[in-house]
Amino acid sequence: MTENEVKLAGDRVGVFSGAVEAMQALAEERTTARDLLEGCLEAIGQDNGKVNAVVLLNVEDARRLADSRDSALRAGRKTGPLHGLPVTIKECFDVEGMPTTWGDPALAPAYPARSAGVARRMAEAGAVLIGKTNLPARLGDWETDNPLFGGTRNPHDLSRSAGGSSGGSAAAVACGFSYADVGSDQGGSIRLPAHYCGVNGLKPTWGILPMSGHSMLGETRVPDIGVSGPFARKAEDLSVLIDVLAGSEEPGTAWRLQLSRSRIAGLKGLRIGVMLEHEECPVDAAYLDALNRFLGKLEAAGAQVDRAARPGIDFNDANNLMNSLVRAETSTRLDEEQFLKALKAAESDGIGIGRFKYINAKGSTMPHRRWLQLHEKRMRICDAWRNFFNRYDFFLCPVSASAAAPFRKAIHPEVRTIPVNGEELPVLTQHFWFSFASLAYLPSNAAPIGTTSEGLPCGVQVIGRKYGDHDVAAVSALLSNLIQV
């Protein structure tokens, strides 16, 4: 290997392609938890210096835990469905005994006494935590780069972006540094990195996975739109991870979450709506060609693909609504000086400050009365999607404007651009494709569909009905079988 080449998980000896496969090998005594861990640590030692995906390691504790898992298994005891599986987690999730920095040197590192809900659930299921993965400072970007840890590069091409804000998560899973990771997503922060790095990244139905221990301000409320969600190399791993992670955190609660198991057995006869193009966010020709080729395979497999199917909503209006509500949610992170600047920008006519800066300022400073009005509009959009899924099983669309964009650090996302069809497109226009699932609280997986003509991995958003997370995972696994066709 040259200094610019990186091994992917599928190229590494001793690294199983998926979590389910690794767990089966453990159960059949073809490997051990310690061997799985050492394989991941070896991969980290070889290539993390180039990719910079894992930024905080927990090696000795992980080794002790892996050995403990092996001893328990020999004695016939199994902790849970992830017993002995090496995993990582996005740096912004609290983990007892490890610092949480949010990638920002202006914030004092927190050493929490209690782990985030998703971290606790992985531990309770028997997983072995290797360490934490990289992110942009304060999660405020689709480029994973920060002053504390530096930038994360795409393992398929080190000159390109791994995406953000869960870029370290996606790159770690792609490289075989771990078998699964948990990231977070509000405006595409799981789906974009998964698409760029060629792995599965599920934004689940809003509210079904814990978000405790994921707040820069120590907030205890559940954030609007924001979710935690799993990364995996294989789509069949997603259902296992959903089962481990989902459910209420309230002690003694009178209700429990019971997601329907998927009954999807094949692609034939599935009713699938598709939308590949829109003037609000043009799609690069190389990526669009890969999407169309994949849809041809999907139709050949017997799926009923309807390229004209649409829910009864105005997509431009929904996109603007999404931007406003996201900025309203993240406004709590603004200090007083930043809020006053945003207020001044929002009260201007918007001319000269840039479209996205103006949109962000308006959303960050909206009064509660306005938020309630916009929330009502969202509820009507949720109804439109509910009606759509009475007629169709899934909705497919691009994940973003292109395959992995060039890595461009130190450029504010309000002014950063990416190349699309030979022109520079504002990176924030990609909110359009993410808004479909985020705004309406729907599950969406960025499912790998192969590569572009440039050899870059790419995926498709598989959007399903609310609480249909297992269906989304199941059909994503079926779609993966078409890649080699």
Residues with catalytic annotation? 90, 165, 189
Neighbours of 374 (CB within 10 A): 17
Q: Tell me which residue of 159, 177, 260, 257 sits closest to 474, measured CA to CA.
A: 260
Q: Give, in order, the Cα–Cα distances in Å from 386 to each of 147, 169, 203, 266, 321.
A: 43, 31, 18, 23, 18
Burial class (CB in 10 A: 0-12, 13-18, 19+), 147: exposed
Dist. CA 89–CA 71, nearest whole Å: 25
Closest CA to 437 of 288, 280, 260, 319: 319
Is-contact 154 404, C-beta < 8 A?
A: yes
Q: What are phi and psi of 313, to 5 degrees?
A: -135, 160
Confirm if 303 and 272 have CB atoms less than 8 A apart. Answer: yes
Distance between CA atoms of residues 337 and 317, nearest Å: 30
SS (H, E, C) 7-64: CCHHHCCCCCCCHHHHHHHHHCCCCCHHHHHHHHHHHHHHHHHHHCCEEEECHHHHHH
Handedness of CA 384, 385, 388, 390 (dihedral sign): negative
DSSP lists the bridge partners of residue 210 as none
Instruction: Give, for 339, the enclosing helix (H) or strand (E).
Output: helix 336-346
Give every CB contact of residue 131 below 8 A, 6+ residues apart in sequence. Answer: 54, 55, 56, 57, 58, 59, 62, 88, 98
C-alpha 180: how far from chain center: 12
Rounded Cα–Cα distance for residues 111 and 56 (Å): 13
